[in-house]
Amino acid sequence: MSAVNAGYGGTGAAEEHRFVVSIPRAIKDSVTVVEDYGAQGVSETQGERVLRAVIERARWDEIADAVRTEFNRRLKTRGMRTGRWTSGDVPVDRLLGKELVLLAWAIEDAPFEKIPVAIANWIGLPQEQRWSLYTLAAAATGDAIRHRGIGWRRALMIAMTENPVSGPVGQVTKAAPRRRTKAREGDRASQGLFLGQDRSNLAA
Protein backbone atom coordinates (compact mmCIF):
# COMPACT_ATOMS: atom_id res chain seq x y z
CA MET A 1 0.00 0.00 0.00
CA SER A 2 1.38 3.42 -0.95
CA ALA A 3 1.77 6.16 1.65
CA VAL A 4 -0.99 8.75 1.96
CA ASN A 5 -0.02 12.10 0.48
CA ALA A 6 0.23 14.61 3.34
CA GLY A 7 -0.54 17.43 0.92
CA TYR A 8 -0.17 21.10 1.72
CA GLY A 9 -0.80 22.08 5.33
CA GLY A 10 -3.44 20.78 7.68
CA THR A 11 -3.32 17.73 9.90
CA GLY A 12 -4.67 15.17 7.45
CA ALA A 13 -7.56 14.34 9.77
CA ALA A 14 -10.70 13.22 7.94
CA GLU A 15 -12.90 15.55 10.00
CA GLU A 16 -10.86 18.59 9.04
CA HIS A 17 -12.28 21.30 6.77
CA ARG A 18 -10.00 21.16 3.75
CA PHE A 19 -9.80 20.93 -0.02
CA VAL A 20 -8.88 17.78 -1.90
CA VAL A 21 -7.19 17.91 -5.30
CA SER A 22 -7.69 14.70 -7.28
CA ILE A 23 -5.06 14.15 -9.96
CA PRO A 24 -5.78 11.20 -12.28
CA ARG A 25 -3.01 9.03 -13.66
CA ALA A 26 -4.40 9.34 -17.19
CA ILE A 27 -3.17 12.65 -18.63
CA LYS A 28 -6.30 12.98 -20.75
CA ASP A 29 -8.50 13.20 -17.64
CA SER A 30 -9.24 16.44 -15.82
CA VAL A 31 -8.06 17.41 -12.35
CA THR A 32 -10.82 18.10 -9.84
CA VAL A 33 -10.88 20.17 -6.65
CA VAL A 34 -13.41 19.38 -3.92
CA GLU A 35 -14.08 21.43 -0.81
CA ASP A 36 -14.56 18.93 2.00
CA TYR A 37 -16.14 20.62 5.01
CA GLY A 38 -15.70 17.61 7.27
CA ALA A 39 -16.98 17.69 10.83
CA GLN A 40 -15.07 20.88 11.58
CA GLY A 41 -16.37 22.92 8.66
CA VAL A 42 -19.39 25.20 8.56
CA SER A 43 -21.85 24.22 5.84
CA GLU A 44 -25.51 23.44 5.46
CA THR A 45 -24.80 19.83 6.38
CA GLN A 46 -21.68 18.70 8.19
CA GLY A 47 -19.59 16.37 6.11
CA GLU A 48 -20.65 18.06 2.86
CA ARG A 49 -18.29 17.82 -0.10
CA VAL A 50 -18.67 20.38 -2.89
CA LEU A 51 -17.04 20.06 -6.30
CA ARG A 52 -15.46 23.50 -6.81
CA ALA A 53 -13.34 23.15 -9.96
CA VAL A 54 -12.73 20.86 -12.91
CA ILE A 55 -9.47 21.72 -14.65
CA GLU A 56 -8.33 20.34 -18.00
CA ARG A 57 -5.02 18.55 -17.56
CA ALA A 58 -3.13 20.89 -19.91
CA ARG A 59 -4.33 23.90 -17.92
CA TRP A 60 -3.48 22.22 -14.63
CA ASP A 61 0.05 21.53 -15.88
CA GLU A 62 0.42 25.27 -16.59
CA ILE A 63 -0.43 26.34 -13.03
CA ALA A 64 0.76 23.40 -10.90
CA ASP A 65 4.39 24.49 -10.47
CA ALA A 66 3.50 28.09 -9.62
CA VAL A 67 0.96 26.98 -7.01
CA ARG A 68 3.34 24.42 -5.49
CA THR A 69 6.11 27.01 -5.19
CA GLU A 70 3.82 29.64 -3.63
CA PHE A 71 2.30 27.22 -1.11
CA ASN A 72 5.62 25.64 -0.14
CA ARG A 73 7.21 29.06 0.37
CA ARG A 74 4.59 29.86 2.95
CA LEU A 75 4.69 26.43 4.58
CA LYS A 76 8.44 26.80 5.01
CA THR A 77 8.04 30.14 6.77
CA ARG A 78 5.84 28.34 9.32
CA GLY A 79 8.34 25.52 9.75
CA MET A 80 5.86 23.07 8.21
CA ARG A 81 6.39 20.16 5.87
CA THR A 82 6.21 21.09 2.19
CA GLY A 83 3.93 19.36 -0.28
CA ARG A 84 3.96 18.00 -3.81
CA TRP A 85 1.47 17.11 -6.51
CA THR A 86 1.13 13.38 -7.12
CA SER A 87 -1.47 11.15 -8.73
CA GLY A 88 -4.41 10.50 -6.44
CA ASP A 89 -5.96 12.68 -3.74
CA VAL A 90 -3.85 15.54 -2.40
CA PRO A 91 -5.30 17.34 0.68
CA VAL A 92 -4.83 21.10 0.87
CA ASP A 93 -5.34 23.41 3.85
CA ARG A 94 -8.68 25.19 3.59
CA LEU A 95 -7.24 28.69 3.07
CA LEU A 96 -4.65 27.55 0.56
CA GLY A 97 -7.43 25.62 -1.15
CA LYS A 98 -9.47 28.79 -1.56
CA GLU A 99 -6.52 30.42 -3.27
CA LEU A 100 -6.02 27.46 -5.61
CA VAL A 101 -9.68 27.40 -6.62
CA LEU A 102 -9.62 31.14 -7.26
CA LEU A 103 -6.82 30.66 -9.79
CA ALA A 104 -8.56 27.63 -11.29
CA TRP A 105 -11.72 29.66 -11.86
CA ALA A 106 -9.70 32.43 -13.48
CA ILE A 107 -8.13 30.10 -16.06
CA GLU A 108 -10.76 27.41 -16.61
CA ASP A 109 -12.13 29.06 -19.77
CA ALA A 110 -9.47 31.67 -20.45
CA PRO A 111 -7.50 31.75 -23.71
CA PHE A 112 -4.58 29.40 -23.15
CA GLU A 113 -2.01 32.07 -23.91
CA LYS A 114 -3.47 34.24 -21.12
CA ILE A 115 -2.79 31.70 -18.37
CA PRO A 116 0.68 33.14 -17.53
CA VAL A 117 -0.95 36.54 -17.07
CA ALA A 118 -3.52 35.05 -14.68
CA ILE A 119 -0.76 33.35 -12.69
CA ALA A 120 1.22 36.59 -12.44
CA ASN A 121 -1.84 38.52 -11.25
CA TRP A 122 -2.69 35.74 -8.76
CA ILE A 123 0.83 35.79 -7.35
CA GLY A 124 0.62 39.57 -7.04
CA LEU A 125 -2.55 39.48 -4.93
CA PRO A 126 -2.16 39.54 -1.13
CA GLN A 127 -3.44 36.29 0.33
CA GLU A 128 -6.24 38.11 2.16
CA GLN A 129 -7.58 39.37 -1.17
CA ARG A 130 -7.48 35.85 -2.59
CA TRP A 131 -9.55 34.59 0.36
CA SER A 132 -12.03 37.44 0.02
CA LEU A 133 -12.46 37.00 -3.74
CA TYR A 134 -12.99 33.28 -3.28
CA THR A 135 -15.64 33.85 -0.63
CA LEU A 136 -17.52 36.32 -2.83
CA ALA A 137 -17.37 34.10 -5.90
CA ALA A 138 -18.18 30.86 -4.08
CA ALA A 139 -21.29 32.35 -2.48
CA ALA A 140 -22.83 33.14 -5.86
CA THR A 141 -21.15 30.84 -8.37
CA GLY A 142 -19.38 28.15 -6.39
CA ASP A 143 -20.55 25.01 -8.19
CA ALA A 144 -17.89 23.68 -10.57
CA ILE A 145 -20.31 22.69 -13.32
CA ARG A 146 -23.54 24.69 -12.98
CA HIS A 147 -21.87 28.07 -12.49
CA ARG A 148 -19.00 27.78 -14.92
CA GLY A 149 -18.54 30.82 -17.12
CA ILE A 150 -21.15 33.04 -15.50
CA GLY A 151 -21.29 35.86 -12.96
CA TRP A 152 -18.31 36.07 -10.64
CA ARG A 153 -16.56 33.23 -12.44
CA ARG A 154 -16.58 35.14 -15.72
CA ALA A 155 -15.60 38.36 -13.95
CA LEU A 156 -12.60 36.65 -12.36
CA MET A 157 -11.40 35.38 -15.71
CA ILE A 158 -11.58 38.86 -17.22
CA ALA A 159 -9.95 40.54 -14.23
CA MET A 160 -7.13 38.04 -13.89
CA THR A 161 -6.28 37.67 -17.58
CA GLU A 162 -6.85 41.15 -18.96
CA ASN A 163 -5.44 43.35 -16.20
CA PRO A 164 -1.85 44.33 -16.98
CA VAL A 165 0.98 43.00 -14.86
CA SER A 166 4.35 44.56 -14.25
CA GLY A 167 7.43 42.76 -15.54
CA PRO A 168 7.75 39.73 -17.84
CA VAL A 169 5.27 36.87 -17.58
CA GLY A 170 6.83 34.46 -20.05
CA GLN A 171 8.46 32.33 -17.35
CA VAL A 172 5.78 32.64 -14.71
CA THR A 173 4.53 29.07 -15.21
CA LYS A 174 7.96 27.93 -14.08
CA ALA A 175 7.22 29.64 -10.78
CA ALA A 176 10.32 31.79 -10.51
CA PRO A 177 10.81 33.00 -6.92
CA ARG A 178 9.18 36.31 -6.12
CA ARG A 179 11.27 39.19 -4.83
CA ARG A 180 9.84 41.10 -1.91
CA THR A 181 11.07 43.87 0.30
CA LYS A 182 11.78 43.07 3.94
CA ALA A 183 9.01 45.43 4.95
CA ARG A 184 6.43 43.59 2.88
CA GLU A 185 7.53 40.22 4.24
CA GLY A 186 7.28 41.60 7.77
CA ASP A 187 3.75 42.84 7.15
CA ARG A 188 2.62 39.43 5.89
CA ALA A 189 4.25 37.56 8.74
CA SER A 190 2.52 39.80 11.28
CA GLN A 191 -0.87 39.06 9.70
CA GLY A 192 -0.47 35.29 9.87
CA LEU A 193 -0.03 33.12 6.81
CA PHE A 194 -3.05 30.87 6.62
CA LEU A 195 -3.51 28.50 9.54
CA GLY A 196 -6.54 29.56 11.55
CA GLN A 197 -5.57 33.20 11.57
CA ASP A 198 -7.80 34.60 8.84
CA ARG A 199 -10.32 37.25 9.78
CA SER A 200 -13.85 35.98 10.41
CA ASN A 201 -15.28 37.77 7.38
CA LEU A 202 -12.78 36.00 5.12
CA ALA A 203 -13.07 32.52 6.56
CA ALA A 204 -16.65 31.79 5.55
Residue 100 phi/psi, 5° resolution? -60, -45
Burial class (CB in 10 A: 0-12, 13-18, 19+), 199: exposed
Question: Is there a contact between 147 and 141 (Cβ–Cβ < 8 Å)?
Answer: yes
pLDDT of 180 higher than 90: no
What's the pLDDT at 28?
94
What's the chain's average pLDDT?
81
What's the pLDDT at 55?
98
Residue 38's pLDDT band (boundaries 50, 70, 90)?
A: confident
**45 against 99, higher pLDDT:** 99
Which amino acid, 40? Q
Per-residue pLDDT tens over the stretch 63-111: 999 999 999 999 999 999 999 999 999 999 999 999 999 999 999 999 9
pLDDT of 127 higher than 60: yes
Per-residue pLDDT tens over the stretch 6-37: 799 976 666 788 999 999 999 999 999 999 99
Residue 42's pLDDT band (boundaries 50, 70, 90)?
A: low
Report which secondary-structure segment, H or E, holds 65.
helix 57-77
What's the pLDDT at 4?
57
User: What gap in Å lies between CA 95 and CA 18, rounded to an integer?
Assistant: 8
Compute the average pLDDT of residues 37-45: 62
pTM of the predicted model as reported, rounded to 2 decimal places:
0.79
Compute the average pLDDT of residues 148-176: 73
What's the pLDDT at 175?
39
